[in-house]
Structure 1
């Protein structure tokens, strides 16, 4: 009896699926559909589609558009001669970036603050730190943050041979892919030391170079109020803010974020992350 009921239910489901239009089925099976909001079926004739206003958090979480015009050769990353310093002025947008982690002492506290205000940030991770803290990469993925490549051991790349630079970058991309779910699309040279080899190898690995506009110099531990002041004074449309979540005592960086993040939001800035439209 129970088996007959299951068969009857299955036939009913199959019959219902057969009534779906071809467009509805195609939308349901589209690649990445599970990662986006579900595509609604066309409304019945005469019934206007329902629209609801976006909540402030939803607006904040909108990613920015990519840099420059679409490339003519899909899949190839251009080799730049200098890193990107800011994002397009698409309204009052600010990007927060954190280097050198993830660190189990400070990164979770930064993630907690970002989650409280429903905003996303970029984390340029070092491969050796990511390997020891894979759960933090998984959390970054779950909460919509962008993970970039900051090499494996944080060396001065301009003093290394080309094959060593590649190893530093490639190993980090591998561990990010393993624990974050995808390979990084952005990289940042340690100490901001770039050369032709770093740009070429980064492009070969499918990554764009991103530097910063506002340097908090938080690694010098200047005091929480000083870090806050540097962010608030430097805030402007399109700026990229550099802070750290590892590499030393970052308790000041954690406390500063709790102060300047609500200031930025109350000042009308949209704290978000860049997105490459063509990778």
Structure 2
């Protein structure tokens, strides 16, 4: 059963199988598609259009400098009902090795950029560039209220294999509860976009596809906070 998380807390708990407790699975039978490095003005709209066509919600791991450059695309991601994930300000692979104060500043700066584009947006996940996880970066993300998000299936589309290769890896390797790593930016992602035309219908027939849970906000009425419902912690 999906954990129910309260205000300011990560929506998913640490997972023993992931690097330093980061999540490798959704924790449910649901399969999650995730897209890294965006937004990108050419490729993100194509990914969004295909997700819309197949009625699939996903999770977008956004790089701060791209968020600042293309806030309209961030708003489109939100309008389409997808979940936000922080992917650092400049795709800093070495961020996890930096002092905790520097990690915190980077993650907060990226979250603030996302919320400048979409006021009140929940940024519930953090994905470390390159999968270069460390205990400090997982700890800081959690202190800020974000679940550290690793993956189960990686077709290494950043290496620009063919669309057929990407689709074959994802379609054959995905099992119940998988988190799939794809990219909609950071380079030429035409093969990834083309692969989605196979991935989305194939996985859609076999699994429930959905965005990772964004967590919950405190109940409010007339500006006053009300107690959480039973079962929320």
Q: Shorter-chain-normalised TM-score: which range?
A: 0.7 to 0.9
| CA deviations over 1:139-194 (Å, ceiling 9, x no partner) | 11111001110000011223322222112111100011121331301111111111
Contact 1:151 1:189 in 2 (8 A): yes
Alignment gaps of 5+ in structure 2 = 15-19, 218-233
Write the distance in 2 (CA, Å) between the matches of 1:89 and 1:199: 22
Q: Is contact 1:221-1:252 (8 Å) kept?
A: yes
User: Which of 250, 258, 261 is the equivalent residue of 2:200?
Assistant: 261
Aligned to 1:162: 100
Partner of 2:62: 125
Partner of 2:122: 183
Q: 2:87: which partner in 1? A: 150
The answer to whether the aligner puts 1:219 opposite 2:158 as a matched pair is yes
- Within a 5 Å distance, the mapping from 1:23-102 to structure 2 comes to 66-67=2-3, 75-77=8-10, 80=14, 81-90=20-29, 93-102=30-39
Q: Distance in 1 between matches of 2:118 and 2:37?
A: 16
Higher mean C-alpha displacement, 199-208 vs 116-125: 199-208
Q: Runs of 4 or more off by more than 3 Å in structure 1?
A: 73-81, 276-279
Distance 1:105 1:158 in 2: 30
Summarize the Cα distance change of 1:276–1:134 in structure 2 as closer, same or farther, 3 Å threshold.
closer
Q: What is the Cα deviation at residue 277 of structure 1?
A: 4.6
Of 170, 180, 188, the residue aligned with 1:241 is 180
CA RMSD of aligned residues (A): 1.9
Pick closer, same or farther for the CA change 1:104–1:75 going to 2, 3 Å: closer
Alignment match of 2:211 (pick from 270, 273, 277) = 273
Q: Do 1:79 and 1:203's aligned partners in 2 also have CA atoms closer than 8 Å?
A: no
Cα distance in 1 for residues equivalent to 2:128 and 2:137: 8
Larger Rg: 1
2:145 to 206, 230, 254: 206
The structure-2 alpha-carbon separation of the partners of 1:66 and 1:131, relative to structure 1 and needing over 3 Å to count, comes to farther
Measured in 1, the distance between the counterparts of 2:150 and 2:117 equals 24
User: What TM-score do you get using the length of structure 1 for normalisation?
Assistant: 0.70
What residue number does 1:107 align with?
44
Q: Contact 1:137–1:179 at 8 Å: present in 2 too? A: yes
In 2, distance between residues paired with 1:184 and 1:115? 21
Q: 2: distance between equivalents of 1:136 and 1:87?
A: 26
Distance in 2 separating the partners of 1:103 and 1:213: 24
User: Larger relative CO (CA 8 A, sep 6+): 1 or 2?
Assistant: 2
